[in-house]
Amino acid sequence: MIPVKIYCACGQKYAFEVEPREGWMPMPVACPACKRDGTADANRFLAEALRAKTQPLPPPSVNTLLNSVQASLAPHLVDALKDAVAQELAAQRRQLLAAQQSAAAELTELAKRLEAVQTPLLERLRAYEQRVTELEKDLADQSKENRELLKLKIEMLREKIQTERTASRISFN
């Protein structure tokens, strides 16, 4: 007798024991809740259960042979794996070096372009600074001249006032 457990699509679980005939259910089975036919599910369950029971074990000599083959192949597989990893790492290193050289070339080109742009700007800045210095000097000179002119004008006005005062004084002697 083989215990059979079935899960119906409706969610019901049911179990029973059966003695299969030639690996099949001897009679139809139905879900106790929804009455759905469960014979196909039971046959699949029986096939899996019987297959698990009937698989022959390899003879001991085959197991010994497999173990010895694994033991003799293991070092070769490890060496092959090491070689594959080393080759992959070398390929990745080459790619990284190429990428680094490309980036260095791009940076050099960028630095040249920046210098080409920066040089005229620096020259312009120097010219502006020189012009500002000249203008400040001119402004200082003009301020000096303006002060002197103002002083002369003030003195002339004083002299004029003085002459007018003396002329407006009437002498009664």
Instruction: Identify the band that residue 53 occupies on the pLDDT scale cut at 50, 70 and 90.
Output: low
Q: Per-residue b/e over 120-143, b at no fewer than 16 CB within 10 Å? A: eeeeeeeeeeeeeeeeeeeeeeee
Residue 40, in any domain of the structure: yes
Please check whether residue 9 lies inside any domain of the structure. yes
> Mean pLDDT, to the nearest integer, of 12-18?
92
Asked if residue 12 is part of any domain, the answer here is yes
**Model pLDDT, residue 109:** 93
What pLDDT score does 65 carry? 66
Span 31-37, average pLDDT: 93
Give the percent of the chain with pLDDT over 70.
88
Domain that holds residue 38: 2-57
| Residue 36 within a domain | yes
Number of structural domains found in the chain = 1
User: What backbone torsions phi and psi does residue 16 show, to the nearest 5 degrees?
Assistant: -160, 170
Q: Is residue 21's pLDDT more than 90? A: no
The whole-number pLDDT of residue 124 equals: 86
Q: Residue 41: name the closest of 4, 10, 2 by CA.
A: 4
Does 145 fall in a domain?
Answer: no
Question: DSSP letters of 103-147?
Answer: HHHHHHHHHHHHHHHHHHHHHHHHHHHHHHHHHHHHHHHHHHHHH
Q: Which residue did the predictor score with more confidence, 153 or 50?
A: 153
- Compute the distance between CA of residue 80 and CA of residue 75 in angstroms, rounded to an integer: 9
pLDDT digits (tens, 9 = 90+) for 69-85: 777 777 888 888 888 89
pLDDT of residue 136: 87
> Tokens 């402004």 belong to which residue?
139
Q: What average pLDDT score do residues 94-98 get? A: 92
pLDDT (0 to 100) of residue 42: 92
Residue 64 has pLDDT above 90, yes or no: no
Q: What is the percent of the chain where pLDDT is above 90?
A: 42
Residue 10 lies in a domain: yes
d(CA 145, CA 137): 12
Whether residue 67 is contained in a domain is answered as no
